Amino acid sequence: MNDEATTVVADLEAGIGTLTRLDAAAVDATVVVVEPTLRSIDVARRAVAVADEQRQGRVVVVANKVSDGQDRARIEEAFGNRALVVVPEDPAIDVADRLGVSPVDHEPSAPAVAALEGLVDALGLTS
């Protein structure tokens, strides 16, 4: 895929198995999605370390399901020096998941969907 006008978005398996098997410098950016639980933070720290080591582009951490300041602090403590996008806990996502529809289609103005605009910015995808 050499078309510079094409953006490829890949959703990897949970964990870091696929990430460790990518060729070095295979992607322009790595988005590490983390929940504010210790176990999720533990895995995300490993993912960030592998992405750095393998030079997988700009690493952006997306803190998902953040419900309060304590959640946010937990994530910032672990990834404070990283580009960070915070996505709030949002019932609209839960409903969309149960319906099996895209959150963008279900409720485009949902706070979680709006927060992901920040990810586009963090990745430098807006002109």
Partner 1 sequence: MSETVGMAESASMIRMAFVGKGGAGKSTIAGTFARLLARRGRPVLALDSDPMPGLPYSLGVEVDDHPIPDDVVVAGPEGGPRWVLRPGLDASAMVDRYAVVGPDGVCYLQFGNLWGHVARLQQAQHAWSQVVAELDRDRWHLVGDLPGGTRQAMFGWARYADTVCVVVEPTVKSMHTARRLLTLAQAKWGPSNLMLVVNKARGGSDATVVSERLGVQPVAVVPCDADAVRADRRGAAPLDAAPDGSLARAVDALVDRVVSLYSLGSLGEEVAQ
Q: Per-residue x/- marks for partner 1, 50-69, CB under 8 A? A: x--x----------------
105 binds partner 1 (CB under 8 A): no
73 binds partner 1 (CB under 8 A): no
Q: Which is nearer to partner 1, 67 or 120 (CB)?
A: 67
Is residue 66 a contact partner of residue 51, using CB atoms and an 8 Å limit?
Answer: no
The only residue of 10, 20, 117, 120 in contact with partner 1, by rule CB under 8 A = 20
Closest by Cα among 103, 8, 18 to 65: 103
The only residue of 34, 71, 79, 112 in contact with partner 1, by rule CB under 8 A = 71
Binding positions for partner 1, rule: CB under 8 A? 13-17, 20-21, 36-39, 42-43, 46, 49-50, 53, 70-71, 74, 97-100
